[in-house]
Structure 1
Amino acid sequence: MGRRARSRYGRALGALALGAALCATSALGGRASAASVPAESGAPKPYAYAEDDTTVEGTASTTNAALLEPGRTYRSSIGEGGKLYFRLALDATSNAYVSATAVPGPGAAVSYADGVKVSVQDDNSRRCSSSAAAHFGASESPRPLAAWASREIGPTKYSCQTAGTYYVVVERVGPSGSSASSSRSPGDWDLELGYVSEPALRKAGSTKAPEAWNSASPGPLQGDARTRAGGAGFATAAPLGEGVWKDGISPGQTLFYKVPVDWGQQLYAGAELGSSTGGDGFVGTALVVSLYNPVRGYVDDVGCGYDGGQRAAVVDPLPPVAYGNRYALNDRTSAVRFAGSYYLAVHLAAQVAGKFGDGPLGLTLRVRVEGAAHAGPDYAGRADPRDVFDAAAGAAAAEASGGTAAGGAGGAGDRATGSGAAGDPHMKAVAAGGLGTGTALVLVLAVWTAVARRRARGWAAAGDAATPGPPAAHPVLPRDHKAPRGR
């Protein structure tokens, strides 16, 4: 092979290697419009919407309301005091879950009671479930807020049981709880809407929630923390397995993570804000940790103050994931009704910057998943999106990105728990398909070298590919204050 031919051949293979690396980056990052990046000083990264979000306009009346389809996410916006309608076409067997994530603009001023509310109504204005509202609460710091509502089919329900046209109502609420009230946060808020369809069971079961479960907190999870960069939205949430993880977070920033939790398993999670190297003062609710279920439905949140010393916010123990939890009277228990990825949204109040600088501050996450996974309910069909209740897929993603679904961070005190995926050869194959960018590049360059040596026996092609590691005036409230949700 001549020198000129070898040069052209080398350039072609180089382009192939670069293309494969970029594909690996895309596969690992997920379908989102902003990548998961480590926290840096300066302005927080904008909220990351899914790349395949469809833009849709809400209407001020049910007439001409845009149709939402299951399994898809949508992007919209809502003005001050706004009330928007969207349309659903539902059958008489499936459960429908709709979420709305409100995203105020950068630097928006928000009050304790400002927020967003969602409801599903039939064509006679009857609500299919209680309206769920999410508020900024004591932090009074603008951040993405998600609220949800549902239409459920079942013997304990008395309305919205027939096929037909239904409406999603999204309202921007203020201090009085009314969409018509004046808010301190002028201007439009962006919205990301999600719609998940859950099939009926093949055979009806008990309509009672499990009554007994272990509500004791386990011992603290130990071990060296591994670095994991949080995402900037639900679509880019960073997968976490059981273990200790570290990141950095700047004032005003919200980081998203997702943890696979299978049927029968319990999730324990908390976040710790590291001590500051400078500054002085106290912020009443500085760190807020919010937990959402696989349909982006609110489960719980917890907050803590900050005075420059390390502080922790730990979510109270949750019941094991069970289909029957939906029959519980307690909203928190009722929300833990699906297997799949549970989302942790960690927010650092913007007010922290005025007392301790722009950051970032150190963030430590401790995640434990207890209990052996078991088979899920016998659905008569498929959910839409198809893998929304598939914890095994989430476990494979966590493993492929450097974590484990169970087994901890490799330090003392880490224990394996049945994840339903770790020992499954099919899941190992899925994990292999989620190789990181550096690994994919090393493999491509290995093939490059082998082909080049075969084509030109006297020509040696060497290439090194380094795998880059992950980068390293408001109320004064109690340390573990929980912001009320106004549900």
Structure 2
Amino acid sequence: MAVALCLVAALPGQAAAAPSDGAGDVPAYQQADEAKKIKGTAGSGDAPKIEPATYSDSIGRGEKRYYRVELDAKSSAFISAVAAPKPGSRVKDIGEGLKIGLENVDGSACNGATQPQFSAEGAAYPIASYATRIIGAGDQCQKAGPYLFSVEREGPATSDPARWPLEIRFMSEPGLKGGLDALPGAPNDSAGTPEETPEPVTGGEKKQAHGGSGFNDAGAVSKGLWKDRIRPGETRFYRVPVDWGQRLNAAVELGSSGSPGEYPPTIYDGLGVTAYNPARGQFDADQFVPYSPDKSAQAAVHTQPVDFGRRFAYSDNTPCVAGWHYLAVTVSPKLSGYFKSTAPLTLRVDVTGKAEAGPRYAGDAAAAGFGVSEDDKAQAEKGQSAAEAERSGTLELVAYAGIGAGVVLILVLVVWTLMARRRTAAGPGAVPPPGSGVPGGFPGQGGQSGTVPLRPQQQGQGHGQGHGQGYSADQGYGPGPQQQRY
């Protein structure tokens, strides 16, 4: 068992990071550890090629970056871009953000272009969305061949002059079995997103959530009440498993300050929340609400049902796919005068609707990042990030291996002990069994191994020594002194 304990102790990075309530620098967006370094080009002619994976680049004010992709005629493509200006950077809430597009090399644009922009005056936070090529959408991008993905940074001359880190992720959704003939139709409009935000979840004990600094380290949450803490100027990410037939309804509450002062002001765009689908497509616009330090504030979002056919509805520009949905929560840096360290945050998460069987994919959609598994649901209940879930699985595997090694070690010790006792019981003069590594063993009668007591060499009697067959403890059977026979 000591072997198993040593194996567990030797694993690196197993210490769990406790949530910090202390003051410090606002954490920046955390890009994926496996992100590949790439450099997009200003012109499309020599754009670098990207494949389904995650990439790391940067973009300057007024720049447009090109990347080349090869698409088949069966899979839908989701290529996202996350721009992450440094917390505290100067941005505008109108006309500043990204233009993300996908086009054919002949210049014809695909329908799935987006323009994520900042919604809070002066508050820099990560913004994200994607460009898509949807099979069956009826645009000019249905054929197999080369395409160009582009990201353009828009903003006034007074905007942040620094280059922004850019994370690009290419996800490929397998086609359906049966091809275009198996595509579901568009849903009934009456099943769409309700005009009013549904009531948030109430009641129940709050669980501890661990928000991350980006999509890659987002902490999982499930249906219910969750608590966390957030710094002014920070954006924290959470992920929720939402299956086919379900929808996400979430409300985020920021608590009041402990010392708001006699006449606390109202801080516009003080609290915001944004929802994203599994491919990092943004649902609608960011939802920012005013905040007054003497009372709490609440921002809410809700998504349309995860229905494959909704991607073909004219009113829905965010294709619905099952999998991890994300919530990005932002608190204005202007609240730093009221929260010296961190502020209390409450998440009211609701996943409504019964989970349904998804479309019949012709490939492995789960491996591509689409769908909800039982492991995903378990991670959400535990509030784990993707890295924590992976470490937990590794620990479990090592624990099983350690238990197995311990059992084998115990069995070896038991067998060794029994053999030692058996030799002791046979006495010091016993011939050990064959195969024991000690000379003197020999097969017994009837094909069975046995032992005989050692005895000294026999000597002849009578008038002289004879040369007969005798047994020597040192030599075994061999020629011995002759015996006088009468």
Q: Residues 183 and 87 of structure 1: is their aligned pair in 2 closer, same or farther, counting only changes over 3 Å?
A: farther
Deviation (angstroms), 1:205: 3.1
C-alpha displacement of 1:46: 2.2
Deviation at 1:92, TM superposition (A): 1.4
2:379 matches 1:397: yes
Q: 189, 208, 224: which is aligned to 2:186?
A: 208
Q: How does 1:145-294 map to 2 (within 5 A)?
A: 145-154=127-136, 156-175=137-156, 182-203=157-178, 204-213=182-191, 215=194, 217-218=198-199, 220-279=201-260, 280-294=264-278
Instruction: Compute the displacement of 1:272 (Å).
Output: 0.2
Contact kept? 1:269, 1:365, Cα under 8 Å: yes
How much does 1:298 deviate? 0.4
Q: Is the 8 A contact 2:171 2:368 kept in 1?
A: no
Residue 168 of structure 1: CA displacement?
Answer: 0.6
Deviation at 1:304, TM superposition (A): 1.2
Deviations along 1:399-438, whole A, 9 cap, x unmatched?
A: 35479xxxxxxxxxxxxxxxxxxxxxxxxxxx99874899
Q: Is the 8 A contact 2:171 2:369 kept in 1?
A: no
Task: Please give the secondary structure, in 2, of the residue aligned with 1:399.
Answer: helix
Q: Which amino acid aligns with 1:84?
A: R
Aligned 8 A contact 1:240 1:398 in 2: yes
Secondary structure of 1:212's aligned partner: helix
Aligned counterparts of 1:160 and 1:437: Cα–Cα separation in 2: 42
Distance 1:127 1:14 in 2: 58
Stretch moving more, 439-448 or 301-310: 439-448
- Structure 2 CA distance for aligned equivalents of residues 346 and 432 of structure 1: 22
What is the CA distance between 1:41 and its match in structure 2?
2.0
Partner secondary structure for residue 397 of structure 1: helix
In the alignment, structure 1 residue 44 sits paired with structure 2 residue 26: yes
Supply the distance in 2 between the matched residues of 1:262 and 1:48 (Cα, whole angstroms): 26
Which 4+ residue blocks in structure 1 deviate beyond 4 angstroms?
35-39, 400-403, 431-434, 436-457
Partner of 1:16, secondary structure, is helix
* 1:190 counterpart SS class: strand
Bigger Rg, which one: 2
- 1:203-252, CA deviations, whole angstroms, 9 ceiling, x for partnerless residues? 33343233222737246321121111101110111111111000000011
Write out per-residue CA displacement over residues 173-230 of structure 1, whole angstroms, 9 at most, x where no aligned residue. 115xxxxxx3511010000101111122223334323322273724632112111110
In the aligned structure 2, how far is the partner of 1:359 from the partner of 1:262? Answer: 37
Which residue does the alignment assign to 2:354?
A: 372
State the structure with bigger RCO (CA 8 A, min sep 6), 1 or 2: 1
In the alignment, structure 1 segments of 5+ residues that lack a partner are 1-8, 30-34, 176-181, 404-430, 458-487
2:188, 2:18 → 1: CA distance? 37
- Conservation of the 8 A alpha-carbon contact between 1:80 and 1:183: no
After superposition, the C-alpha distances for 1:254-309 in whole angstroms (9 at most, x for unaligned) are 11110000000121111000111124432100111000000000013311111111
State the partner residue of 1:335.
Answer: 318
- Percent of aligned positions that are identical: 34
| 1:442–1:382 CA distance, 2 compared to 1 (3 A) | closer
The answer to whether the aligner puts 1:320 opposite 2:286 as a matched pair is no
The aligned amino acid for 2:277 is N
Q: Deviations over 1:345-389 (max 9, x none)?
A: 111111221x31433000000111112111001122234853333
Aligned to 2:473: none
Structure 1 residue 88, shift from structure 2 partner:
0.4
Contact 2:119 2:288 in 1 (8 A): no
**CA–CA distance in structure 2, aligned partners of residues 118 and 162 of structure 1:** 21
Alignment CA distance shift 1:208-1:36 (3 Å): farther
**Deviation per residue, 1:32-51 (Å, 9 max, x gap):** xxx79545422112211111
TM-score, normalization by structure 2: 0.74
Q: Distance in 2 between matches of 1:39 and 1:148?
A: 34
Change (3 A) 1:359 1:159: same
Name the aligned partner's letter for residue 373 of structure 1.
A
| Structure 2 residue corresponding to 1:306, chosen from 291, 294, 308 | 291
Secondary structure of 1:395's match?
helix
Alignment RMSD (CA, Å): 3.2
User: Could you tell me how far apart the structure 1 residues matched to 2:101 and 2:91 are?
Assistant: 22
Q: Could you tell me which amino acid in structure 1 is paired with residue 345 of structure 2?
A: L
Q: How far apart, in 2, do the equivalents of 1:235 and 1:437 lie?
A: 19
Change (3 A) 1:196 1:307: same
Aligned residue in 1 for 2:119: 137
- TM, length-normalised to structure 1: 0.74
CA contact (8 A) 2:220 2:384 kept: no
Does the CA contact (< 8 Å) of 1:69 and 1:195 recur in 2?
yes
Distance in 2 between the 1:341 and 1:63 partners? 36
Task: Give, as a single letter, the amino acid of the residue that structure 2 aligns with 1:205.
Answer: L
Cα deviation digits, residues 288-346 of structure 1 (max 9, x gap)? 1000000000013311111111111111x433210011122224xx4251010000011
Question: For residue 362 of structure 2, what is the amino acid of its counterpart?
Answer: A
Deviation at 1:89, TM superposition (A): 0.5
In structure 2, C-alpha distance between the alignment counterparts of 1:441 and 1:167, rounded to whole Å? 45
Give the whole-Å Cα distance in 2 for the aligned partners of 1:14 and 1:294. Answer: 38
Aligned residues: 400
Instruction: Output the CA distance in 1 between the equivalents of 2:367 and 2:154.
Output: 30
2:96–2:154 CA contact under 8 A, matched in 1: yes
For the 8 Å contact 1:81–1:183, the answer to whether it is kept is no
Is 1:24–1:436's contact at 8 Å kept on the other side of the alignment? no
Secondary structure of the residue aligned to 1:138 is coil
Query: Structure 2: which amino acid aligns with 1:211?
Result: D
Contact 2:84/2:164 (CA < 8 Å) preserved in 1? yes
Alignment of 1:386-425 (within 5 A): 386-401=368-383
Indicate the residue corresponding to 2:279 in structure 1.
295
